[in-house]
A and B are shown apart, each in its own frame.
Chain A
Amino acid sequence: MAENSGLNPKTVVVIGGSTGSIDVLLQLLPALPNPLTFAMVVVIHRKNTSDSALANLLAVRTHVPVQEVEDKDVLTAGTIYLAPADYHLLLEKDGTFTLDYSGKVHYSRPSIDVTFESVADVYGSGVTGILLSGANADGTAGLQAISQAGGTTIVQHPDTAQVAYMPQQAIQNVQIDHILTAPEIIQFLNSSPDVLIR
């Protein structure tokens, strides 16, 4: 798949969610290994306010640096990147981020599909996509793209999701590698780096 030998880091974990997903993130973040050997990109649906409240909320829960993406930021290992409100977040082949103000996808900007598809295009088998709780079908096409690119697909177990619709949609339409509870996701992210690469 994608020529990713020149990229730093070798693996990216992309996490998407909507209603009910912030609680899960707040559980995950304090349990992350520090330093992170991979880069993490987070896309959460929210109201189109331009403040950085969410970034601050997440940042106090972890020692890993949390950064709301600005134009031309470069993806590096050991950092958690948050898609800013009201922009789609894309990744270029050279590892720089592009922000995009095109139309909403699944009524959402940022859209999970947009970021997942773009990261899959650059990282191929080096990407792990995790879809959390939500009341929206966004994320399914994105996980499909990750799966096709040879990456790893994970969804939060619908029974444990505050809103089951988002993970359920993905399970119905995509070959999902792991269906996990929040503690299991934590375990997965703490496993050896090569588990993250298929």
Chain B
Amino acid sequence: MIRDDELELLLNDVLDRYGYDFMNYSRASLKRRVNRLLTIDKFPSFAELRYRLLSQPDYIKRFVEELTVNVTEMFRDPAFYQTLRTTILPTLTAKPFIRIWHAGCSTGEEVFSMAIMLREMGLLHKSLLYATDLSPGVLETARAGIFPLAPMKQNSENYRLSGGTQDFSEYYTAQYGYVKFDASLASRMVFSTHNLVSDGSFNEFDLIMCRNVMIYFDKPLQERVLILFDNSLGPLGYLVLGTKETIRFSPMQGRYRQIDSEKIWRKIAD
């Protein structure tokens, strides 16, 4: 187990040396992640980890990937996706062009889920899905559109529960324990690194999805990121958070209206 002061040292190193700022992240979660990294990469001590990080610049990519939590799923929380399908996306059909931002997209399962729904609603051709994450490693996976086969059973069940009626396996081809999703789904996706801590607004969106990312941020950082999203949402745009997250404590909430009982808010004033 690393001590609290050792964790602070490490966070300082990573900021000074590589510009990654984890200062406003949950310490309880970071501590677990670093302890886990000490075990799986077999560091005999905290000092060895620190030395590797400072002496081998290549290691930072793995470090960031392991420090952040990248677990994700397709059509996670089917009831939420159903609301998206039946209540939210239909309000965007009249638009000549639909812009969506997936902030903290991890390996892309969420983005492919969205593309599948847009395709089924006949909207994909006029949509653009911006998918960003701070971790370059997960974006490589997302860009390739290749995922392990094993979770597809659960994914396909989620898809069905979310109101999907097609044969889910039509969307991919399976080979050697992996699946590759239909390239036409990816044709409307743009992947790029973007750090919510340090990077600014880069476009105006109709829908921003940021699920299970801000749970790792402290309140001041959450507030800053909410302002970034506010600045990046067009009039009547939607902000979507994870099932346990809220904008309730933010001064911003007065200008947003929550949709049903889902974690979806619509911008009602500019």
- A90 sits at the interface (CB 8 A): yes
Known contacts A71-B244, A87-B244; is A101 also within 8 Å of B28 by CB? no
The answer for the CA separation of A84 and B249 in the assembled complex, in Å, is 20
* Contact code string A114-125 (vs B, CB < 8 Å = 1, else 0): 100110011000
List chain A residues, Cβ under 8 A from B268. Answer: none
Q: Contact check, A50 vs B32: say whether CB atoms are below 8 A apart.
A: no
Most buried by B among A50, A114, A118: A50
Q: Is the interface of B mostly helix, strand, loop or mixed?
A: helix
List of A residues within 8 angstroms of B219 by Cβ: 72
Q: Is B227 an interface residue (CB 8 A)?
A: no
The CA of A50 and the CA of B161, in the complex, are separated in Å by 13
Q: How far is the CA of A94 from the CA of B212 in the complex (A)?
A: 21
* A102 contacts B33, C-beta separation under 8 Å: yes
Query: In whole angstroms, how far apart are the Cα atoms of A149 and B215 in the complex?
Result: 27
- Establish whether residues A100 and B29, one from each chain, have CB atoms under 8 Å apart when the complex forms: yes
Interface residue tally on A, bucketed by range? 20 to 34
Q: Across the interface, do A101 and B215 meet the contact criterion of CB distance under 8 Å?
A: yes
Tell me the smallest distance from the CB of B95 to a CB of chain A, in Å.
30
Is B173 interfacial (CB 8 A cutoff)? no
A188 to chain B, nearest CB (A): 27
B219 to chain A, nearest CB (A): 6
What per-residue 1/0 map shows which CB atoms of A59-70 lie under 8 Å from chain B? 000000000011
Q: Which of A4-35 contact B (CB under 8 A)?
A: none
Instruction: List B contacts of A91 (CB < 8 A).
Output: 28
- Distance between Cα atoms of A98 and B69 in the complex (Å): 13
Contact of B69 among A72, A102, A121 (CB under 8 A): A102
Q: How many chain B residues have a CB neighbour from A under 8 Å?
A: 22
Q: Using Cβ atoms and an 8 Å threshold, which residues of chain A touch B28? A: 90-93, 98, 100, 118, 121-122
Residue A163 CB within 8 A of the other chain: no
Q: Interface 1/0s, chain A 74-110, versus B by CB < 8 A?
A: 0000000000100100111100001111110000000
Contacts of B225-270 to chain A: CB distance below 8 A: 243-246, 249
**Which B residues lie within 8 Å of A98 (CB)?**
26, 28-29, 215-216
The docked-state distance in angstroms from the alpha carbon of A99 to that of B243 is 11
- A71 in contact with B32 given A90-B26, A92-B27 (CB within 8 Å): no
The answer, among B4, B33, B244, for a CB contact under 8 Å with A84, is B244
A71 touches B69 (CB 8 A): no
- Whether, in the assembled complex, B79 has its beta carbon less than 8 Å from a beta carbon of chain A, the answer is yes
Q: Which A residues touch B31, using CB under 8 A?
A: 121
Residue in B26, B31, B214 with the greatest tally of chain A CB atoms within 10 Å: B26
| Contact (Cβ within 8 A) A71 B245 | yes
- In the bound assembly, the distance between CA atoms of A25 and B77 in angstroms comes to 27
Residues in A neighbouring B245, C-beta threshold 8 A: 70-71
Among A91, A92, A102, the one with the most B-chain Cβ atoms within 10 Å of its Cβ is: A102
Is B9 among interface residues, defined by CB-CB distance under 8 A? no
Please state if B249 and A103 are interface contacts (CB–CB under 8 Å): no
B71 located at the interface, meaning its Cβ lies under 8 Å from any Cβ of chain A in the complex: yes
Contact check, B29 vs A90: say whether CB atoms are below 8 A apart: yes
Contacts of B212 in A (CB 8 A): 101
Say yes or no: B244 contacts A100, CB within 8 Å: no
Q: Are A50 and B29 in contact (CB under 8 A)?
A: no
Residues in chain A near residue B29, CB distance under 8 A: 90, 98, 100, 102
B215: chain A residues at CB < 8 Å are 71, 98-101
Given A98-B216, A102-B71, also A90-B32 (CB < 8 A): yes
Q: Which residue of B lies closest to A118 (CB)?
A: B28
**A93: which B residues are within 8 A, CB to CB?**
4, 27-28
Evaluate whether A101 and B71 lie within 8 angstroms (CB atoms) in the complex, with A50-B243, A70-B244, A92-B26 already known.
yes
From B28, B31, B77, residue with most partner A Cβ within 10 Å = B28
- In the bound complex, CA of A103 to CA of B66 (Å): 11
CB-CB under 8 A from B77, the residues of chain A are 50
For B28, the closest partner residue in chain A by CB is A90
- Name the distance in Å between A115's Cβ and chain B's nearest Cβ: 10
B97–chain A nearest beta-carbon distance, Å: 32
7 closest Cβ contacts across the A-B interface?
A90-B28, A98-B26, A102-B69, A70-B244, A101-B212, A71-B245, A99-B215
Listed A/B pairs (5) with beta-carbon separation below 8 Å: A69-B244, A91-B28, A98-B29, A98-B215, A102-B71
